[in-house]
Amino acid sequence: ATAAILTTRRGLSSPATEQRVNIDLAKETGTVRPELHGHFAEHLGSCVYGGLWVGKNSKIPNINGHRKQAVDYLKGLIPVLRWPGGCFADDYHWRDGIGAAAKRPKDVNLHWGMYTEDNSYGTHQFIELCRLIGAEPYLAGNVGSGTPQELRDWMEYCNYPKGSSLSDERAANGSPEPFNVKYWGVGNENWGCGGNMTGDEYATVYRRFATYLRRFGETQPFLIACGPNGNNKEWTQKFWGNMRGGRPSGFAMHFYSNGRGNTATHFTLEDMRQQFASFPNIETAIVEQRALLDTMAPPNPRLGPVGLLLDEWGVWDRMDPEEEKKYGRLFQQITIRSAIAAALGLNVIHRQAGKLVMTNIAQMVNVLHALLLTDEDKCVRTTTYYVYEFTKAHLGQLSVQTESGAAGAMELSVSASRKDKDVTITLVNPKPDVTL
C-alpha cells in the first residue's frame, strides 16, 4: 500500500490531504504486453506526408525520405505501428504504393480532404520505418472497397519468401527478404467508413476474406476483425452470432474521448471533466466487451481466448479551422490536458492488461493525440510523448491490482506492475488546482 499526499496549489500553507492508494502485489492481473503501448499512423493530414515522410530530396534531414528527427525520437518507443488507416485503409489499394515512385498512380484521398495521394509512401516505406524505429508492423487491409484477392495478394507479397510472382516482385522492388508481417486488420470500422455494415453482415464478409488469408511464410498471421464503436454490444453480439469456424485471433474496438464542444487549447474545467469522464467508460467497455467475447467465443483449448484490442483511442477535440488549414486535417495542439488524458488511458490499460492484447493511441504524428508535432523542418516531442516515455517501465511486467480510494473522473488514478522485487507505479492527478 502507498499514500499520496495531495496539496492545494494556492498556498502550501493550506492543509494537505492524504489519499491512500492500495496496491496488492499478490494479485496479478496480467502481463503488460509491449503491444499495449502501440501506435497508429494514417494517410491523414500531415501524419505521413510532411510529418513522418519528407521525401528523399527534402532539405529536411532524412533517412531515405523518413524525417530523421522523428526516427530518432521514436526509436525504441513504438512496439507496434498500425498503418495505413483508419478510414483510409478501406479505400487503399496496396499495389498503387509499390514500384518506381514516379510511375505510381495518383488517387484521391476521399475520407480526408479529397487531396491527391501520389502514393510515394507505400508498403516498402512503411516497413522500412518500422525497421528503423524497432516497431512491429500492423497492416490494416481493405475490406470496404477491396476484394479478398487483393488482400490475400498483399499478404503473399509481404510474407512469401521467394519464387512466386508476387514475392519476386517484392524482391525486384528492393526487398528480397520477406517482411513477415504478423498483424493484419481485416477492415477498419466496417460499421462506418469501412462499408456501413451491421455486425452480422460484416461477419459474413469477414469469413469470406479470412478464407484466403493464410500462413504464406514463417509468420502465422494474427487476423484482427473489426470490433465495436465504443461499448456497442449489439455489434459484438451480431458479429459473433454469425461467426462459425475460422474465427479471428483479435477483435478490435475503437473508443475516442471526445471533447468536440471545445478546442484543444480553449476549454473549461467542465469540458475537461467531461473528457476525462470517458476513461472510466473505457475501462467498463474493456471489462464488458471481454466478458461478452468470452461468452460468445469461449477460449479455444488450443488457441486460447480471442484477443481484445483497443485499436484506436485518444482525445478528439473540436478542430481549429485555421490550424487544420496550416497543419492538415485533424491537427490538434497537444497540452498538459492531453498528457493527463494519455496517462489516465494508460492507467486503464495497465490495470486491465490481462484482458487486452494490443492498444493503439491515435495518432503518432500531427493528428489527434500525437506524440510528435512538426512544422516544416521543426519536430517536437509532445507531453503525450513523455507520458509514454515515463511509463514504458511497465512493459513486460506483471500488472497488479490497485485501488485509488475515491472514484470519479477527476480523482487520483493509479496503476502498478512488478518484476521480481521492483514495482513500477504510475499516479495521475487530474485535478488542476491540487498538486501531488
Q: Which residues are catalytically annotated?
A: 189, 312
The stretch near ligand AHR (CB under 6 A) out of 79-87, 346-354, 397-405, 412-420 is 79-87
Check if the beta carbon of residue 114 is closer than 8 Å to that of residue 108. yes
94: closest CA among 129, 127, 67? 127
Q: Is 259 in the site for ligand AHR (CB under 6 A)?
A: no
Q: Is 362 in the site for ligand AHR (CB under 6 A)?
A: yes
- Within 46-188, strands assigned E span 62-63, 66-67, 80-83, 107-109, 115-117, 136-141, 183-186
The stretch near ligand AHR (CB under 6 A) out of 65-73, 85-93, 272-280, 401-409 is 85-93
Check if the beta carbon of residue 236 is closer than 8 Å to that of residue 227. yes
Q: How far is the CB of 256 from ligand AHR (least distance, A)?
A: 7
Round to whole Å and give the CA distance between 345 and 282.
8
Give start and end residues of each alpha helix (H) in 123-229.
123-133, 148-159, 165-172, 199-210
Q: How far is the CB of 367 from ligand AHR (least distance, A)?
A: 7
Round to whole Å and give the CA distance between 183 and 181.
6
Q: How far is the CB of 76 from ligand AHR (least distance, A)?
A: 24
Q: Is 189 in the site for ligand AHR (CB under 6 A)?
A: yes
By C-beta, is 271 or 312 nearer to ligand AHR? 312
46, 69, 188, 413: which one binds ligand AHR (CB under 6 A): 188
33, 35, 36, 42: which one binds ligand AHR (CB under 6 A): 42
Q: How far is the CB of 290 from ligand AHR (least distance, A)?
A: 21
| DSSP for 270-288, written as a single string | HHHHHHHTHHHHHHHHHHH
By C-beta, is 289 or 397 nearer to ligand AHR? 289
Q: Is 85 in the site for ligand AHR (CB under 6 A)?
A: yes
193: closest CA among 87, 48, 39? 87
Residues in 307-336 that interact with ligand AHR by CB under 6 A:
312
What's the grid cell of residue 111?
475520407
By C-beta, is 85 or 137 nearer to ligand AHR? 85
Q: How far is the CB of 226 from ligand AHR (least distance, A)?
A: 10
The stretch near ligand AHR (CB under 6 A) out of 84-92, 149-157, 209-217, 352-360 is 84-92
- Cell 487491409 locates to 141
How far is Cα of residue 163 from the mean position of the Cα atoms in its chain? Answer: 34
Q: How far is the CB of 302 from ligand AHR (least distance, A)?
A: 32
3-class secondary-structure state, position 94 = helix
Residues making contact with ligand AHR (CB under 6 A): 42, 85-87, 188-189, 312, 362-363, 368
